[in-house]
Amino acid sequence: MMDRRGAAHHRSRFLFFPQIILMPQTSSRSAWTSRLGFILASAGSAVGLGAIWKFPYMAGTNGGSIFMLPTIAFSLTIGLALLIAEMSMGRAARGGAGTAYLKLGGRAWSVIGFISVATGALVLAFYSVVGGWCTHYFIESIMGRGITDDPAAMRSAFEAFAADPVQSVMGHVIFLTTTAGVVLCGVERGIERVGKILMPLLFILMLILIVRGLMLPGAIEGVKFLFMPDPEAFTGEALLNAMGFAFFSLSVGSGSMMNYGRLSDKVNVGTPTAWIVVLAVMSSILGGLMIMPAVFAFGLTPDAGPGLTFATMPAVFSHLPMGGLFAVAFYGCLFVAALTSAISILEMVSQHCVDRWGFTRRTAVLTVSTVLGIIGVFCALSFGPLSDWKLFGRTLFDLLDYATSNIGMPIGCVGIGLVAAWVA
């Protein structure tokens, strides 16, 4: 038998050098069939709404470059290190956050695992509302509606839709139901196949839209807003929000990537993880370049909030040949990108229920989806009937967004750092 020191050394090698360890396959869990599928599926948690929906409006409300530059720095340094550690913990423990903290850190650390899983669940509760927005705009684009170059009409159309309790709740329910259906079909059949095709297509569409947006009169002001630092705009809150977004965009600290790590038997962790971070950073920069120049070109305000992307893109499509076709392709890819992120979270939370409480997979997915669906309804109503109901000065949607990005994920990141260092 190994002594305590020998066991710790064995665990250290097992955790931080997963590329040289042959791990046994288990038929009860899915696994990625290629490194490319692993990278694209994992990056899908960030490339979608994190870059295209959240980054532009967060940059717009936090000083542009004062927010963007620290976000890039946090992602390429602390974010990368924590993401490697999180995926390695999941691979070493052969489980999600709840299992990994318990196995690698002991019972005292299991509370961090619970916080991580709860954080991921709450992210999905409000995230699915935005997924519902994507669903709505995708359907509208198919029907040939929603393209206009009138800034006032764009803004009012989004606000009217988001405030409509029937349409916003319906979009949320459709999106979450679709997510549950894909998870029930299996990880490799759902996430990996979709990611390999539509993630690259989304990047191509973003590049086309960026080029067209930069050709609009006044667009250069949006570029300056993103890339020219303004020291007078710096605030401690902007720095905190940049850190929170870096964690959000990488899905680090919420348990999702730990759950992906447990499925990574056929791929190394180190190099693919670096690619995931690079893709996440690139997609955020591209998302900013796609939205912000158009915002300035059409006279919109960058601090418009969560609806900034949806109130801006219709004008860009109106200035493109075959704009309706581009709109369908863009919103379709955005819907799928949002779906890959939602799938990773629902998979993680459901697997936690299976591991800890013995749920069947089907029961876990249906139970979690139902509970989060109910919470999500109230988040959707935060833009309409419940817009005046606030806690700590924030609507339920904004409160969950802030609490998960700026509190829950940082707690999870601290736990990853401490447990990974202790095991090492």
DSSP readout, 112-179?
Answer: HHHHHHHHHHHHHHHHHHHHHHHHHHHHHHHTT------HHHHHHHHHHHHH-HHHHHHHHHHHHHHH
Angle at 342 between CA 344 and CA 114, to 5 degrees: 60
How far apart are alpha carbons 192 and 138 in whole angstroms? 22
Question: What pLDDT is stored for residue 113 in this prediction?
Answer: 86
Locate the DSSP E strands across 292-402. Answer: none
Q: How far apart are CA 128 and CA 222, in angstroms?
A: 29
Residue in the block written with tokens 């999600």: 96
Q: How many C-beta neighbours within 10 Å does residue 28 have?
A: 6
* Nearest residue to 351 via CA among 104, 112, 116, 194: 116
Write down the pLDDT at residue 191.
Answer: 55
Contacts of 341 (CB under 8 A, 6+ apart): 44, 45, 46, 48, 49, 50, 127, 251
Q: Where are the alpha helices (DSSP H) in 186-322?
A: 187, 193-214, 220-227, 236-250, 256-261, 270-297, 308-318
Are the C-beta atoms of 311 and 154 separated by less than 8 Å? Answer: yes
**Per-residue pLDDT, 51:** 80
The pLDDT of residue 6: 46
| pTM of the predicted structure, to 2 decimals | 0.80
Residue 394: strand pairing partners: 391
CA distance 357 to 128: 25
Q: Return left, alpha or beta for 34; rule: phi > 0 is left, psi -120 to 50 is alpha, else beta.
A: beta
SS3 state at 186? coil
Burial class (CB in 10 A: 0-12, 13-18, 19+), 214: middle
The half-sphere exposure of 306 on its side-chain side, counting CA atoms within 13 A, is 20
CB 18 within 8 A of CB 266: no
Q: pLDDT truncated to tens, each residue of the chain (424 aa)?
A: 444 444 444 444 333 333 322 233 333 444 444 455 555 555 555 556 778 888 898 898 888 888 998 999 999 999 888 888 888 887 777 767 777 888 887 888 888 888 989 998 999 999 999 999 999 999 999 988 777 777 777 778 888 999 999 999 999 999 999 999 888 876 545 555 665 666 677 788 888 888 888 988 889 999 999 988 877 777 888 888 898 888 888 878 877 777 666 655 555 666 777 888 888 888 889 889 988 998 898 888 888 778 888 888 888 888 878 788 888 888 887 888 788 778 878 888 888 888 888 889 899 999 999 999 999 999 999 999 999 898 888 999 999 999 998 899 899 888 888 888 776 4
Could you give the dihedral angle defined by the CA atoms of residues 152, 158, 164 and 168, in that order, rounded to the nearest 10 degrees? 180
Q: Can you tell me whether residue 391 is helix, strand or coil? A: strand
> What local confidence, expressed as pLDDT, does residue 186 receive?
67
